[in-house]
Structure 1
Amino acid sequence: MIFITLCKFNALKGQLQTNMQLQERINAFVELGKFLNQFSSETASKQQNLQHNDRFYDSMRQLIATAHHHNGWFTTDNIQFACKSWAEALSEANLKQWTSAYTINTTTPKTIAIVMAGNVPLVGFHDFLSVLISGNKVLAKLSKNDKLLLPFIAKYIIAIEPRFEAYIAFSEGKLENFDAVIATGSDNTSRYFDYYFGKYPNIIRKNRNSIAVLTGNETPAQLEALAHDVFRYFGLGCRNVSKIYFPEGYYMDPFFNGMYSWKQMVDNNKYINNYDYNKAVYLMSLFNILDNEFLLLKEDEGMSSPISVLFYEYYTDLDSLKVTLTSEAEKIQCIVGQTGIENEIDFGMAQSPQLWDYADGVDTLKFILEL
């Protein structure tokens, strides 16, 4: 009887040791943001007085410098941008503003399986953050294309707050022993996700693309900012602009001048190989294309354009275009422009979402908290 009582006491003690208050979880992620800020640009340097920095700083720099050997799309510049974006997002003010909209009082943690994409660096971090900030446990299955960065960051945040160790797990095999699923993939993989995970509470994300709507009144600075929305991460993200709507009779020179601000794309072999391939296919197929030697424009009703290609359409009436875009809302991640379309974002901001800007418009944190 004494042995049983002691076992129960030790189990309860272990649970108390792993339970964290919301503010403690926020504090840990604020420290992570400070750590990531050191890697936000080529000129960023090692900071003093950051927790465990001597242990992790050099390894993180090495990981960023060599990531392209594992995935050629993960250039140093793109990983630095991802670090910068998350460093800015993980401020105490942002984390408190985000979480203040919810009642977060988890006493019995649930395990959330996260099937992550690997198209851009740390693309699954928001799901990872949402689960942990809510007081629940992560069981992550990483994409083979992005399997280095998040485990390293997980080690850092466990060093900051050791109680997270009981809340973070990575699986290379079959996912088992979980309560709900968040899975991100393509339209094709979503069918498999539905089959395997349909019996669990789930968020299953499919293909989405982002668009821009121009009026012809954009400034050169705005069009250069649009180039950032097009080319960052080589256009591989769902928040990258893959289609442009031009007003009828639009004069293309200002647009191409703006795109030229990213002329360095020609220096990436993987990107330019896609450009050469797509150009050859379109020319052999006798498609009419516009070309600036590193970007192809093809008039097309589709939204999901290949790497190095932007689809475009002309519109004659903005109100009619708004109706069309509303009917296509399930295919659109975000709309870039300054036209008054509901929920549109400004030029250059497509890859800088706030913590409360949820993928596919599905409130991830609300889903987790209502399990």
Structure 2
Amino acid sequence: MAELNLNEHISKIHKAVEEWLSQENQVLWKAIDQTVDDGLFSQHDIEFQLSVLRENISNGDIQEWVNQSELSDRKNAKGQKVLCLHAGNLPLVGFQTALGTLLSGADYHGKLSRKDPYLLSSFLKEVKKAGLDQQIRYSTDLNAFKDLRANKVVFAGSEESVPEVKGKILELKAAKEHAEYIIRTAKFSIAYLDDWNEETKQELIEAMLRYGGKGCRSVAVVVANVGLKKVKEELEKAIREFWELNPQHQKPAPDLQYQYAYNAAVQRSQLWLEDFLIQESEELPDTDFTVNWVEGGEEKVRELKTHFGKKVQSVYSAGKKIAGIETEELAKAQRPNLWWKPDGVDVVEELIR
């Protein structure tokens, strides 16, 4: 592996991130305005995401990530070409992958999502000014990476899309024939509530509804010690209060009326919120804007996690830990550390391996 002056490298990146996140950064403000004006994400969701990142940086998350991944002067990815295909379902959802690639020392080649083209590029513009000893290229067009012959590819998407994506990359020779693919396919997370109280309720609402309930860290299955019927009224009141304080970007109303009518016909307990549905069900939550509520305990969590398999990103607990299952705090669902592991994978570790 190539030699990397790690302390200097990390210092440059840390400074660039801080300057990008500065309230005085007009490039970032312009990117925020463009994103909102184009109707891609709400101002509230963007500001929430940026506030989380500012907190992460001030808490020393960059250095902690470096320490956990065992990145060093000699153990790094300098000289490697990494192609990152970023998702666009949440504001700045690709930031962690971009930052991890830069930290590793690899050359970064980023295919930005057309659903979130401005925010991440504003960060990359700042980093390009930092004088890093690595190439930084990005575009919203995959064709821009023709003949790149990357060593590794990082992308998130559905399992069904993987063959098509790989085929397109090989056709363009954007990656080497035997390049390593770091693929993330998890879809949603599970929350376990062993105690229903005001704090738990607020944490759950944030976890379910932030960013319109999209993203693999968003809770789509709730296992609770109480049935939905018992908490339905207070939950509805709290959700409407959340929406008043955090107005979402206006989206077409999802077609949930059929499911609502079916639930009513079979007398299934549900909470209908026009553009959002919470229902008592143990089925796979494969419909947007839907959360399935299951009354049960730890054994039910284990059963569902095993049943849903790789589609589950994280299991959150609002209290007691679950024996045999790695859990995260429910309060951290939409506030993850920079070094959290999508699909259980540390991108820096994978790139320097």
Match of 1:301 among 269, 278, 282: 282
**Amino acid across the alignment from 1:221:** E
* Aligned mate of 2:18, from 28, 34, 41: 34
Other structure's SS at 1:223 match: helix
> 2: distance between equivalents of 1:231 and 1:80?
16
SS in 2 for 1:351: coil
Deviates more, 1:195-204 or 1:110-119: 195-204
Aligned partner (choices 47, 55, 79) of residue 88 of structure 1: 55
**2:21·2:28 contact (CA, 8 Å) conserved in 1?**
no
Q: Write out per-residue CA displacement over residues 265-304 of structure 1, whole angstroms, 9 at most, x where no aligned residue.
A: 8954634x425x3235532784643224564212333343
Aligned with residue 333 of structure 1, among 313, 322, 328: 313
Retained in 2: the 8 A contact 1:190–1:205? no
Question: Is 2:188 the counterpart of 1:219?
Answer: no
Q: Is the 8 A contact 1:242 1:305 kept in 2?
A: no
Larger RCO, structures 1/2 (Cα 8 Å, 6+ apart): 2
- Specify the SS of the correspondent of 2:51: helix
Count of residues in Structure 1 that have an aligned counterpart in Structure 2:
330
TM-score by length of 2: 0.82
1:65-123: CA deviation from partner (whole Å, max 9, x where unpaired):
231233x3411111112212222223473222221231422485100011111101111
Does the 8 A contact of 1:300 with 1:313 survive in 2? Answer: yes
Aligned-CA RMSD value: 2.8
| CA displacement at 1:248 relative to structure 2 | 5.7
Higher mean alpha-carbon deviation, 285-294 vs 230-239, is at 285-294
* Other-structure match for 1:368: 351
Q: CA deviation at 1:319?
A: 2.8
Aligned to 1:163: 132
Q: Does 1:353 align with 2:319?
A: no
1:209 match: 188
Is 2:273 the counterpart of 1:312? no
Per-residue deviation, residues 137-174 of structure 1 (Å, max 9, x unmatched): 11111111111111221111222x1235x421114233
- Measure how far apart 1:358 and its partner are: 0.9
Structure 1: unaligned runs, 5 residues or longer: 1-15, 39-44, 47-56
Q: Deviations over 1:311-366 (max 9, x none)?
A: 22222x42353244245442211112223123222232111112321100012112
1:176-222 CA-to-partner distances (Å, cap 9, x unmatched) read 3211111111222123235456731111111421111222x232022
Instruction: Confirm whether residue 134 of structure 1 aligns to residue 108 of structure 2.
Output: no
Please say if residues 20 and 126 of structure 2, whose CA atoms lie closer than 8 Å, have aligned partners that are also in contact: no
With over 3 angstroms needed to count, the CA separation of the structure-2 counterparts of 1:225 and 1:264, relative to structure 1, is same
Question: 2:174 aligns to what?
Answer: none
Q: Structure 1 residue 124 and structure 2 residue 94: aligned?
A: yes
| Match of residue 173 from structure 2 | none
Between the aligned partners of 1:107 and 1:297, the Cα distance in structure 2 is 45
Residue 108 to residue 210, structure 1, CA distance change in 2 (3 Å): closer
Name the structure 2 match of 1:24: 8
List alignment gaps of at least 5 residues for structure 2: 171-176
SS in 2 for 1:138: strand
Residues 191 and 113 (structure 1 numbering): CA distance in 2 closer, same or farther, change over 3 Å?
Answer: same
- How far apart in 1 are the matches of 2:284 and 2:262? 22
Secondary structure at the counterpart of residue 237 of structure 1: coil
Distance 1:367 1:270 in 2: 38
1:77 counterpart = 2:50: no
Q: Normalized against structure 1, the TM-score is what? A: 0.79
Letter in 2 for 1:156: E
Contact 1:245 1:313 in 2 (8 A): yes
Structure 2: distance between partners of 1:32 and 1:147: 19
Q: Which moved more, 1:73-82 or 1:306-315?
A: 306-315
Determine if contact 1:245/1:314 at 8 Å carries over to the other structure: yes
- Matches of 1:225 and 1:36 in 2, distance apart? 29
Match of 1:147 in 2: 117
Q: Distance in 2 between matches of 1:91 and 1:26?
A: 15
Q: Deviations over 1:26-57 (max 9, x none)?
A: 2233223433544xxxxxx53xxxxxxxxxx2
Instruction: Determine the C-alpha separation between the residues in 1 that align with 2:77 and 2:282.
Output: 50
Corresponding residue for 1:322?
A: 302
Amino acid aligned to 2:5: Q
Helix, strand or coil: the match of 2:65?
A: helix
Offset, 1:60: 1.9
In structure 2, how many angstroms separate the alpha carbons of the residues matched to 1:261 and 1:162? 46
Q: Percent of pairs identical after alignment?
A: 21
Amino acid at match of 1:297: I
- Taking the aligned partners of 2:27 and 2:274, their CA distance within structure 1 comes to 38
Q: How many Å separate the matches in 1 of 2:320 and 2:339?
A: 23
How far apart are the structure 1 equivalents of 2:300 and 2:16? 46
SS where residue 222 of structure 2 aligns? strand
